[in-house]
Structure 1
Amino acid sequence: MTTSIIPTLQNLYDVTQENQDNRGYCTLQWRRGKLLVKVPGQVKQPYLPALDSKRSLVECLQHSPVSLVSIDPKLGEASLRFWADACEEAQKPIFLSIPTGKKLPFRQLQRLIDWIAALGLLLLLSPVMLGLIVLMQVYSPGSLFCHEWRVGERGKLFQAMSFCTYNTTSLERWMSKYNLNNLPQLFNVLRGDMSLTGSRCWTLEDAVQLNKLPTSWEVEAQSHLLHLDGQTL
């Protein structure tokens, strides 16, 4: 993949702390069809022009044999979103490089229960959702649905659906108060992105902050999530 991006490897640079926020500064490793995107160390590496443009990165991913991308949360929220957007457009799955813990027993049974429950709830709540769509078109015209990157099972990144509520109207504030804006996420459950009974999905901001905590990712994810704003990192 890198040979299609860089004509020569003569343009080298020293990675320093002050320029690590640049998307072009990262370490790419190839391992059995997987592209590992990591934080650079204090080593000389070739500069990757494709990382400055999402369009260029998408083209590189599309023409590469990469089967999936694994990215380090230490790169920061902006880089995670940049790579996630590019991978989605290139139709390459992207995973966050985090400890995944033990595989849950009866996973297929849980998936079946989630699917049946989500389908039943969608059928039951479809009149409510249609009513909300009509009200939103009347009182807050604009985009109906928003998509936000979330971290799901085994660290897989996916786009969670929700009604667009920016709390600018009384209707939007009311929907947010009772979590009605999250009803479209039942479609994510049907697709297998989320679970009604399993662990919750993290936002990219949650994932980056949890990665900074000193103890294990899984333990902190369970015990500190509700107190992230008060953490001293």
Structure 2
Amino acid sequence: MTTSIIPTLENLYDVTQSHQDNRGYCTLQWRRGKLLVKVPGRVKQPYLASLDDKRSLVECLQHSPVSLISIDPKLGEALLKFWADACQAAQKPIFLSIPAGKKLPNQPLRQLQRVIDWIAALMLLLLVSPVMLGLIGLMQIYSPGSLFCHKWCVGKRGKLFQTISFCTHNTTPLARWMVKYNLDNLPQLFNVLRGDMSLTGSRCWTLEDAIQLNKLPEITASWEVEAQSHLLHLDSQIL
């Protein structure tokens, strides 16, 4: 049984004339379970009040067959983080939409790189685990508060993920020393184990840098290229 992620809506309006400043307004399109979140265009589409509230958006995503979300970086950092948080809560992968200007690396090479990264990260974790445990103990004594911080970054194929690092926001001698020797990023080895980032490949960009510099590690997934000529507007289909 297929169900719509939105209630029955009667009123449509031109998005270029109203509600442009509303956080919940953006153009939604999809194809075969892939939802595209784009900047408003000159099209008539229903306003979705549920996009103003994170909990409502999470519920919509959880009860829909959408399997992957691609979001336009032109929407801005605040809206990107809003959607990223909601997708994480709904356990839906979200990708930053990026140009398909390069060819995908050879798949066997990518798999080999993944294996090398996993083995290297595991070995490094075993080596530095005493150091990490020691830092955790020192932080609990000299830097009270949260031990770990999370930041949205852009990884392979434009996928958004949260990096893990030690919190060094407290301006203590311990925090400054950890930042000086890059020890605050040791927990990111867990990101490498999960496949979010690589030790040997191209670097990951923070969400802020990716938006400002318009540089991303790899190209968009192939379905995005195919979808451009087969997109369906949200107000015309049922998910």
> What TM bracket, shorter-length normalisation?
0.7 to 0.9
Q: Does 1:89 align with 2:93?
A: no
Q: Give the length in aligned residue pairs.
A: 213
**Letter of the 1:170 counterpart:** P
**Letter of the 1:36 counterpart:** L
- In the TM superposition, what is the alpha-carbon distance from 1:3 to its structure 2 partner? 4.2
Q: TM-score, normalised by structure 1?
A: 0.85
Percent sequence identity over matched residues?
79
CA distance in 2, matches of 1:19, 1:202: 32
- For residues 146-177 of structure 1, the C-alpha deviation after alignment (integer angstroms, 9 at most, x for no partner) is 11111000001111100011151111111111
Q: Does 1:8 align with 2:9?
A: yes
Once the two structures are superposed, the pairs formed by residues 19-168 of structure 1 within 5 Å of their partners are 20-99=20-99, 101-105=102-106, 106-168=109-171
- In the TM superposition, what is the alpha-carbon distance from 1:45 to its structure 2 partner? 2.2
Aligned to 1:165, the other structure's residue is in SS state coil
Contact 2:153 2:205 in 1 (8 A): yes
Report 1 or 2 for greater relative contact order, CA contacts < 8 Å, sequence distance ≥ 6: 2
CA distance in 2, matches of 1:157, 1:199: 15
Q: TM-score, normalised by structure 2?
A: 0.83
Larger helix fraction of residues: 1
- In the TM superposition, what is the alpha-carbon distance from 1:122 to its structure 2 partner? 0.4
**Letter of the 2:7 counterpart:** I
**Letter of the 2:211 counterpart:** V
Gaps of 5+ in 1: 212-216, 220-233
Gaps of 5+ in 2: 218-239
**Letter of the 1:103 counterpart:** L
Aligned to 2:45, the other structure's residue is in SS state strand
CA distance in 1, matches of 2:18, 2:129: 51
CA distance in 2, matches of 1:143, 1:2: 41
RMSD over equivalenced CA pairs, Å: 2.0
* Residues 197 and 21 of structure 1: CA distance in aligned 2, closer, same or farther (over 3 Å): farther
